[in-house]
Amino acid sequence: MTNLLDDRSIVQRVLDHVDRQTTDLGDEVWREPVGNYLSKERFAAEVEILRRRPVAFCPSAALPDTGSYVAHNSAGASIIAVRGADGAVTAFRNACRHRGMPLAEKSGCQKAFVCRYHGWTYGLDGSLIHIPDEYGFPGLDKSTRGLVPLATREHGGLVFVTQSDVASGAADPENLPPLPLARHKLRRAWETETNANWKIVAEGFLEGYHIRHLHRETFYPAQFDNLNVIESFGRNSRVVFPYRAINKMRETPPSARTAQGVLTYVYHLFPNVMVVTFPATVSVLILEPLEVDRTLLISYVVTDRETELPEVQAKVQDREDFSALGAVEDTEATQAIQRSLNSGANEFFEFGRFEKAICHFHRSLSEALKEIGFVDSSK
């Protein structure tokens, strides 16, 4: 099990930074060639990494009941995850074994999956249980034609799916630290497409050096600029974004200090998943690479609050609206960066010591590419 600093230690470290006007620093800078955001060959290799690793597919809260399912693309492949009668979650290739028609879209709850093309029917365990006019398929053994299962593991409030042989160095989900997703219920889910490389989108979550300038009217009045606590665990990271309200913790005995309401944790689960804490909700963001310059953001919001109460509902909605304003600014920035890539202005992007988590991300991605045999000609 990976050990990260507890809330009390994080709060003290942030207060020390506030007093000293400092922040966590990395040991080095990283120069990432601009060509790595444009290369279709490298993009294909990055997607292959996603296929070989256990990647978070959805929060457990999205599959609350027997028959609950979620279907979306992961690393370009259509996958469906379903909670079976035994309570376990299994992921399958989302394709009928007759002619390949997808069996489900988005999310819902079913007792069985019926192909809308010819009616072939599958149980929640993926078994083929019915073929209309089965006599037309002499010799077909239904026991060999169930849905194609994928390695699936549910841990820490997330469902992890691995599509192919796991690359060396791939993290076992059970080695992850406790994630803030226990006892949560799904509030909502949606998808948005961004015209930017998936790595540019990821970088925006991993540093607070931009808060004052990009989020001047949104996050900056409530948060510190360029003040983060950054921890790495394996190829993953956790970045702390403290709120100015953390100063009230000075009046609280250290043993009673909490992170609730005074900071945001961003857990980067390598390569492409972010778990982001807010005072009333937790967001799970999956960055699905579509093309070298297009990314699909699959977003889930979960909460442990009783949002049926009007006053709680109003507070949660207000915080979501506030976060959405900052997200618009981030999206505008990532798309503007993407448009500039072909300008010839930069041979590489310079990530400094304030951007420690981004340096760790690119170093880890470079190592993972080497493990699958990709030769990075840009280095």
Percent of the chain with pLDDT over 70: 96
Looking at the structure, tell me whether residues 69 and 44 fall in a common domain: no
> What is this structure's pTM?
0.94
Looking at the structure, tell me whether residues 298 and 329 fall in a common domain: yes
Look up the domain containing 299 and give its range: 1-52+174-379
Cβ neighbours of residue 276 closer than 8 Å, sequence gap 6 or more: 205, 264, 265, 266, 267, 282, 283, 284, 285
SS3 label, residue 42:
helix
Looking at the structure, tell me whether residues 48 and 68 fall in a common domain: no
Q: What is the predicted pLDDT for the residue at 172?
A: 75
Looking at the structure, tell me whether residues 364 and 218 fall in a common domain: yes
Domain boundary among 165, 188, 220: 165
User: What's the whole-number mean pLDDT along residues 310-316?
Assistant: 72
Domain boundary among 165, 191, 214: 165
Q: Are 143 and 93 a contacting pair, CB within 8 Å?
A: no
Q: pLDDT digits over 285-309, tens only?
A: 999 999 999 999 999 999 988 766 6
Looking at the structure, tell me whether residues 226 and 241 fall in a common domain: yes
User: What's the whole-number mean pLDDT along residues 124-149?
Assistant: 98
**Confidence check: pLDDT of 318 > 80:** no
Residue 115 structure tokens? 């192909």
CA-wise closest residue to 367 among 232, 229, 180: 232
Q: Are 278 and 323 a contacting pair, CB within 8 Å?
A: yes
More confident residue, 269 or 309: 269
DSSP-derived secondary structure letter, 274: E
Looking at the structure, tell me whether residues 156 and 209 fall in a common domain: no
Looking at the structure, tell me whether residues 282 and 235 fall in a common domain: yes
Q: pLDDT digits over 130-141, tens only?
A: 999 999 999 999
Looking at the structure, tell me whether residues 127 and 260 fall in a common domain: no
Q: What is the predicted pLDDT for the residue at 13?
A: 98
Looking at the structure, tell me whether residues 124 and 218 fall in a common domain: no
Looking at the structure, tell me whether residues 46 and 60 fall in a common domain: no
CATH number where 122 lies: 2.102.10.10
Looking at the structure, tell me whether residues 269 and 364 fall in a common domain: yes
CA-wise closest residue to 285 among 323, 337, 317, 322: 323
CATH number where 330 lies: 3.90.380.10
**Confidence check: pLDDT of 144 > 80:** yes
Q: What is the predicted pLDDT for the residue at 307?
A: 66
Q: pLDDT digits over 51-86, tens only?
A: 999 999 999 999 999 999 999 999 999 999 999 999
| Average pLDDT score over the chain | 94
Looking at the structure, tell me whether residues 269 and 367 fall in a common domain: yes
H/E segment holding residue 153:
strand 149-155
Band the pLDDT of 40: cuts 50, 70, 90.
very high
Domain boundary among 165, 198, 213: 165
Q: pLDDT digits over 327-343, tens only?
A: 899 999 999 999 999 99
Q: pLDDT digits over 150-172, tens only?
A: 999 999 999 999 998 654 445 67
Count of domains for the chain = 2
Q: What is the predicted pLDDT for the residue at 379?
A: 55
